[in-house]
Amino acid sequence: ATQAYDDQNIFAKILRDEIPAKRVYEDQWAIAFHDINPQAPTHILVIPRGPYVSWDDFSANASGETIAGFVRAVGTVARDMGLVAPGYRLLANTGGHGGQEVPHLHVHLFAGQPLGPMLA
């Protein structure tokens, strides 16, 4: 079962350039921008351009091409930012127990210091 997509969510507005964001990457599949409340020295959000509520919605309903494009974009962001050698962490909060607040799929990219075993 899929939740209906709310096109007034904050990331939908960022995608449409209705509100500003510090973009670091964009291509046909994804955009990436700095989190407004960073939890690490580098904290980027990568989101698909399509209207997917969550990791669950995306993994179940997006085409293989769309999934591949998004996954490749996430890797490209990290590579372009020079994060491969020092290392980085990806996180996709999903649903209530996952602590997801914005109902448009986003992958958090954390980097810039040793991150420890978990990051809230």
Nearest distance from C-beta of residue 21 to ligand 5GP, angstroms: 5
Judged by DSSP in three states, 77 sits in helix
Single residue of 23, 87, 99, 119 touching ligand 5GP by CB under 6 A? 99
Which residues lie closer than 8 Å to 76 by C-beta, 6 or more apart? Answer: 25, 27
Per CB under 6 A, does 101 bind ligand 5GP?
A: yes
Owner of token pair 């974009």: 73
Q: Which stretch binds ligand 5GP (CB under 6 A): 28-36, 56-64, 67-75, 111-119?
A: 28-36
CB count within 10 Å of CB 61 equals 14
Distance CA 117, CA 114 (A): 9
Query: Out of 10, 24, 67, 81, which residue is the one contacting ligand 5GP (CB under 6 A)?
Result: 10
Q: Is 106 an active-site residue?
A: yes
Q: Name the site residues for ligand 5GP (rule: CB under 6 A).
A: 10, 21, 33-37, 45, 93, 99-102
